[in-house]
Amino acid sequence: MGTRSGDYVYVAGMRGIDPATNELADGDLERVRQSFLNMQTIAESEGATLQDAVRLVVYVTDMDAHRPLVNEVQEELWDGAMYPPRSIIEVAGLNDEDIVEVEGTFYAPAEGSS
């Protein structure tokens, strides 16, 4: 789910659900990647790219196991470029016993704004 407010796009609570199957992606790395891809899809629907992200919040259920996967996916999707400030927070649980949830804020000037 995402929304625009002026020149910013806010994407909330993206999980590793494959839109083709409406099921959680298999495997931890694939699930983390799918979470970011889902966020990217919504951002792009509002004219933003991953490079337009100004802040990310990532929730994981196991910091030691999942933070390295988040780092790997960010390196991959940002193609080694600097990615935005990120908070990563360990939580006791997520919906459907998922392992990761991603939120993003993107700067994407609205048409006609200066």
Helix (H, G, I), strand (E, B) or coil at 10: strand
pLDDT-based confidence at 81, cuts 50/70/90? confident
Residue 112 lies in a domain: no
The pLDDT of residue 1 is above 80: no
Contact present, 71 and 23 (Cβ < 8 Å): no
Range of the domain at 80: 2-107
Any residues with CB less than 8 A from the CB of 7 and at least 6 apart, and which? Answer: 107, 108, 109, 110, 113
Residue 114 lies in a domain: no
The pLDDT of residue 112 is above 80: no
Residue 99 lies in a domain: yes
Q: Give the pLDDT confidence score for residue 58 in this predicted structure.
A: 99
Domain count, the chain: 1
pLDDT, tens digit, 9 for 90 and up, residues 10-67 = 999 999 999 999 999 999 999 999 999 999 999 999 999 999 999 999 999 999 999 9
**CATH number (domain holding residue 77):** 3.30.1330.40
- Tokens 């792009």 appear where? 44
Contact present, 52 and 108 (Cβ < 8 Å): yes
Helices (H) and strands (E) counted in the chain, each on its own, are 2, 7
Residue 113 lies in a domain: no
Q: Give the pLDDT confidence score for residue 114 in this predicted structure.
A: 55
Q: Give the pLDDT confidence score for residue 80 in this predicted structure.
A: 82
Task: State pTM to two decimals.
Answer: 0.94
